[in-house]
Amino acid sequence: MQLDPQRVWKNAREATTVDLLDRLTAFRDGLEPAAKPILEAELRERGIGPMEIHAHGLALEGKCLKNSDGTVARCSLCLRPAVAADWNWFRLWRVIPIFPWKFLYCQDHARLHSTDEASRHPSG
């Protein structure tokens, strides 16, 4: 399948800076080789250089969960790389618990999830 550079440029311009950084670091192995320079160029236009890209990669290094095929897993609630996993109830219409399910969380959702759990199960 041929990569459409115009489509990649359009997608890169519409993406958030954090999304582009995640793609170039955590999800780099899954990118088409021709897409990498386009994403890097878009980040340069936003004032993000190689040092910032490298720093973002270092912040995620060793924290990302992997799928069985070795690729980086995505958060169950967004498209960011997953860094934590926890069992919770899969809920019908977000209300009725149906069965236990292993959810994956990015850094942001992991913090929210742990805060929610702490507020539901007060210690002491």
For 32-87, the pLDDT digits (tens) are 999 999 999 999 999 999 999 999 999 999 999 999 999 999 999 999 999 999 99
Over the stretch 45-60, which tens digit does the pLDDT of each residue have?
999 999 999 999 999 9
How far out from the chain centre does Cα 11 lie? 16
Ramachandran region, residue 22 (left: φ > 0; alpha: ψ -120 to 50; beta: rest):
alpha
CB atoms within 10 A of CB 96: 9
Helix, strand, or coil (residue 49): coil
Alpha-carbon distance of 104 to 71, in angstroms, equals: 14
